[in-house]
Each structure stands twice: as C-alpha cells, then as structure tokens.
Amino acid sequence: MKFNRFEEIVAWQKAKSLTINLYAIFDNSRDFSFKDQIQKASVSIMNNIAEGFERKTNNEFKYFLYVAKGSCGEVRSMLHLSFELHKIDEVSYIENTKMTEEISKMLSGLIKTL
C-alpha cells in the first residue's frame, strides 16, 4: 500500500466522516464535558493518522496508528454510554458504532502492513 497524502487513507476518510457525524449529533448538547470528550476523541483518530503519516517513518506511523486505534475505542465506549444515557437514538448509535469498528479494523490492517 502506497499513499502520497494522508487524505488518501480510507481509515482517515472514515474517521473524518465519523467526526462530522458526532459534531452534528452533539451540536446542541448541553452536557459540554461529554460533548467535548467524544468530539475530541473522534478528532484524535483522524489527526493521529495524519500526524503519523507525515512523520515519514514506518515506526512512527505505526505508533500513531495505535494511538488512533485507542481513540477509536474511546469513541466506541462513549457511544455505548451516550446510548444508555439517551443522548443519542438507536440508529445513530448503531451507525456510528459500526463506523468505529470498521475504522479500528482498517487501522489494524495498516499496522500489520507496516
């Protein structure tokens, strides 16, 4: 797999879509600490993919992919909580949880290829 720009990485593209979804879902939330945490964690996924790629070494890229994978788990954990606390509907919960699982699998695949 050869990428010229981090924007070509499908995991980054999906992480960006996830982030946009979460910003829209929690836009009007009055629970600012929860909203900030889930939004920051989703931004962390895409930004760590980008930062690792720009480091230009496989070891550093792999490290940042692991960090992105951890943030992906954090978002998934918070999605469980947001559903249980009735902060999001079931459709949004299922859709975004599936996205986190897909991103996590893609990150694992990238890590293995490095």
Q: Measure the CA–CA gap between 11 and 92, rounded to whole angstroms.
A: 20
Place of tokens 């996830």: 18
Q: Is 72 exposed, middle or buried (0-12, 13-18, 19+ CB in 10 A)?
A: buried
How confident is the model at residue 2, as a pLDDT? Answer: 86
Give the pLDDT confidence of 37-75 residue by residue, as tens digits: 999 999 999 999 999 999 999 999 999 999 999 999 999
Identify which of 95, 83, 87, 76 has the alpha carbon closest to the alpha carbon of residue 31.
Answer: 87
Q: Confidence class of residue 1 from pLDDT cuts 50, 70 and 90?
A: low
What is the CB-side half-sphere exposure of residue 113 using CA atoms within 13 A? 11
CATH no. for 7-113: 1.20.1440.60
Give the pLDDT confidence of 6-24 residue by residue, as tens digits: 999 999 999 999 999 999 9
Q: Is the alpha carbon torsion for 86, 87, 93, 97 positive or negative? A: negative
Task: Please report, for the chain, the start and end positions of each structural domain, with discontinuous segments joined by +.
Answer: 7-113
The CA angle 45-108-13, to the nearest 5 degrees, is: 40
Q: Which helix (H) or strand (E) holds 2?
A: none
